[in-house]
Amino acid sequence: LTCTMARGRNNNRTSHGDGGGAIHSANMAINKENDFKEGVKKLQNRATMTAELLTEGGEIETFLMEADPDNAEGFLLAQRNRLKAIAEGNAKQWDEIENFVQAVKDVRGDVQRQNQSGAAAGGEGEAAAAGADEAPDYERSIQEAVEKVRLGKESDPNHVPLEEHEMVMSLREKLGEKVKKRARNDDDDDLEIVNNVGSDDVHALKCPITGMFFEDPVRNKVCGHTYDRKGLNQLFSTRKTKCPIPGCSNNTLSLGQVEVDDEMKLKVRRHKTREEAAKKKRDLDETMDDDEEGGGYTVLE
């Protein structure tokens, strides 16, 4: 990633003698932050969905314990530990992306301030930069800035260690572990989050606005609640901006807060599949019962 901005130093000696090449490259890197994070989100979503399948007391655990009780426990433990390791890796990569983007912003600010200083000095600084034999080493500057950002975060009293990162804690919850969330001394304490998703609750598979099963679910990144996009648009058409979940204190609901909820899509699809299978079984049982009542024979006269 550091190469994105570092390449800009070569441009400084051509058409961007004032550091404009580096600033342009920095802006490109900063604007790609969401693209960088998208890959991590996809990996985390897959890990979370797999964790839900391997949850304690779930169908897979029950089946394995009955089919192979001698090896099931060790197998499940290994897979769950592997999922937690994946979540920690995703959390680490997420933090590294944020550190990098912040570092690029800091270096960009330094370059802009140097340009302003050169302009204030009557262009002497600009001329010196243009005539220098060596271009600024922005790659090194970014690496040093990344380290500075990282150390600054780690020294923050509110710093959350990797094993307590939201991605890790969320995955552990899906595995059925009891986790105690860390209290923080920031504004997030003012936001009370009320869960509206339960593993066995059919109501949790329905939009709190429309009351229908989710078709295009989106999750609120601020309060964690899920709505159907159609229902959300209905809510906005009435000019309401409060989260519709009772007890939630999110009063600034907006489209910018939501993202596609792939996990909920999977839950709804699995529920409907189970319902269809159960219906087929009931129909089959009824057919067999009818056959038994008639003795299984058709009497011809």
In 3D space, the residue among 14, 21, 16, 18 whose CA is nearest the CA of residue 4 turns out to be 21
Residue 226 has pLDDT above 90, yes or no: yes
Q: Out of 34-38, 83-87, 137-141, which region has the weakest mean confidence (pLDDT)?
A: 137-141
Give the pLDDT score at 13: 44
Give the pLDDT score at 274: 80
Give the pLDDT score at 299: 47
The percent of residues above 70 in pLDDT, for the chain, comes to 75
Residues with Cβ < 8 Å from 99, sequence gap 6 or more?
146, 149, 150, 153
pTM: 0.56
User: Cα 102 to chain center, whole Å?
Assistant: 19
Over residues 85-113, mean pLDDT: 91
Over residues 63-83, mean pLDDT: 91
Query: pLDDT tens for residues 230-258?
Result: 999 999 998 888 999 988 889 999 999 99
Give the pLDDT score at 85: 94
Over residues 22-51, mean pLDDT: 89
**What average pLDDT is seen over the chain?**
79
Query: DSSP string spanning the chain?
Result: -HHHHHTHHHHHTTT-TTTHHHHHHHHHHHHTHHHHHHHHHHHHHHHHHHHHHT-TTSHHHHHHHHH-HHHHHHHHHHHHHHHHHHHHHHHHHHHHHHHHHHHHHHHHHHHHHHHHHHHHTTTHHHHHHHH-SS---HHHHHHHHHHHHHHHHHTSTTPPPGGGSHHHHHHHHHTT----PPP-SSGGGG--------TT-GGGGB-TTT-SBPSSEEEETTT--EEEHHHHHHHHHTT--S-SSTT-------GGGEEE-HHHHHHHHHHHHHHHHHHHHHHHHHHHHHHHHTTT-----
Query: pLDDT tens for residues 114-132?
Result: 878 766 666 554 444 444 4
